[in-house]
């Protein structure tokens, strides 16, 4: 029988109060894995992975501020990645988690890596699934016009002009395309339409929040050298498992981890950005083998 997933909310003091929703499964005394989602998703993207890992690990999957069922009581339209990291820090402290392995994807990647800069020894295993930390991982098709936006000042006519070509990113069609692009045709029927419908509902709730985070992503790129230095200095074991068809964070971003992580394992699977929709069994198997190999949660 698969472990049961439970859904909770914890109240954090950050930004004047955040009711942070999260999913949890597994033995509370087991080694902890935290799964961090990306744009425009939520912990729902891990609905199949959680029970595939929770027989052996305590699995926690929070909804980051601006996403899912988490409620930010102050104005959410000016959220930054520093705020997301504050929320992760408050989350682990409130739950009493001092050390953990982390699965990073999309926006979850800079959130966890910023946390690692604050607490270099807290993350003891890193699983990156299309979770980028390298310039070469930024696919030009999306990021070239975003870089033009970054070069402007928010709230100015230049910002509005640069934003116009990106307006389509928050449409239903664009959200669906994130799931389908790069996915081989025989696998498209594995993608649950309810997943991208739920993500689109999140976009529609506060488009300004999503624009603000996209704009602030430039601050993550500026931190890439520090993220890479942490990989080298911490010697954290890394599993990079990537959808090779992803045009947002391209495969070169996966391969780059091997430059800095002394114990890196890289796998490119025949899927897209939301790889778990089509390859959850393969990804879960790779994670379990990797964590066994690096003796995650075991005494040295």
What pLDDT does residue 14 have? 87
In a domain, 98, yes or no: yes
3-class SS letters over 46-98:
HCCHHHHHCCCCEEEEECCCCCCCCEECCCHHHCCHHHHHHHHHHHHHHHCCC
- The CA-based diameter of the chain, rounded to the nearest angstrom, is 57
**Domain CATH for 85:** 3.40.50.1820
pLDDT > 90: what percent of the chain?
Answer: 94
Residue 37 a catalytic site member:
no
What's the rounded mean pLDDT across residues 254-259?
98
In a domain, 131, yes or no: yes
In a domain, 300, yes or no: no
Using pLDDT thresholds of 50, 70 and 90, give the confidence band for residue 292: very high
pLDDT digits (tens, 9 = 90+) for 136-147: 999 999 999 999
Q: What residues pair up with 254 in beta bridges, in sequence order?
A: none
Backbone angles phi, psi at 213, to 5 degrees: -70, -40
Using pLDDT thresholds of 50, 70 and 90, give the confidence band for residue 300: low
Using pLDDT thresholds of 50, 70 and 90, give the confidence band for residue 263: confident
Burial category of 219 from C-beta neighbours within 10 Å (exposed 0-12, middle 13-18, buried 19 and up): middle
Residue 151 lies in domain: 6-293
Give the residue carrying structure tokens 């890193």. 126
Helices (H), the chain: 49-53, 81-95, 108-118, 140-150, 157-163, 172-180, 193-205, 207-234, 252-260, 276-293
What pLDDT does residue 38 have? 97
What pLDDT does residue 297 have? 87
pLDDT digits (tens, 9 = 90+) for 201-239: 999 998 999 999 999 999 999 999 999 999 999 999 999
What's the rounded mean pLDDT across residues 45-51?
97
**Average pLDDT score, the chain:** 96
Phi-psi region of 26 (alpha: psi -120 to 50; beta: other; left: phi over 0): left
In a domain, 298, yes or no: no
In a domain, 121, yes or no: yes
In a domain, 59, yes or no: yes
Contact yes or no for 26/58 (Cβ under 8 A): yes
Which of 94, 100, 211 has the alpha carbon at shortest distance from 149?
A: 211
In a domain, 220, yes or no: yes
In a domain, 214, yes or no: yes
Task: Give the chain's domain count.
Answer: 1
Single out the catalytic residue among 8, 73, 267, 273: 273
């Amino acid at each position: 029988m698969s472990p049961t997933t439970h859904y909770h909310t914890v109240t954090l003091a950050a930004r004047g109060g955040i009711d942070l929703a999260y999913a949890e499964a597994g033995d509370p005394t087991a080694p902890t894995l935290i799964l961090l989602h990306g744009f425009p998703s939520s912990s729902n993207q891990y609905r199949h992975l959680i029970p595939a890992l929770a027989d052996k690990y305590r699995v926690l999957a929070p909804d980051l501020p601006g996403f899912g069922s988490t409620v930010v009581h102050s104005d959410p339209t000016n959220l930054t990645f520093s705020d997301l990291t504050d929320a992760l820090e408050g989350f682990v402290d409130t739950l009493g988690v001092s050390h953990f392995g982390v699965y990073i994807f999309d926006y979850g990647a800079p959130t966890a890596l910023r946390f690692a800069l604050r607490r270099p020894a807290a993350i003891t295993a890193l699983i990156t699934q299309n979770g980028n930390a390298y310039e070469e991982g930024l696919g030009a098709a999306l990021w070239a016009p975003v870089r033009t936006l970054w070069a402007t000042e928010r709230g100015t006519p230049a910002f509005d002009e640069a934003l116009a070509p990106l307006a389509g990113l928050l449409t239903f069609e664009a959200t669906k395309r994130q799931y389908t692009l790069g996915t081989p045709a025989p696998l498209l029927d594995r993608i649950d339409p309810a997943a991208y419908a739920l993500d689109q509902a999140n976009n529609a709730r506060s488009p300004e929040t999503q624009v603000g985070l996209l704009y602030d992503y430039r601050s993550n790129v500026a931190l890439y050298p520090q993220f890479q230095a942490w990989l080298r200095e911490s010697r954290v074991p890394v599993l990079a498992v990537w959808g090779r068809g992803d045009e947002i964070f391209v495969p070169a971003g996966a391969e780059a981890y091997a430059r800095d992580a002394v114990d890196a394992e890289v796998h490119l699977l025949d899927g897209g950005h939301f790889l778990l929709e089509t390859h959850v069994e393969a990804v879960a198997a790779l994670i379990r083998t990797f964590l066994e190999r690096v003796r995650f949660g075991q005494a040295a």
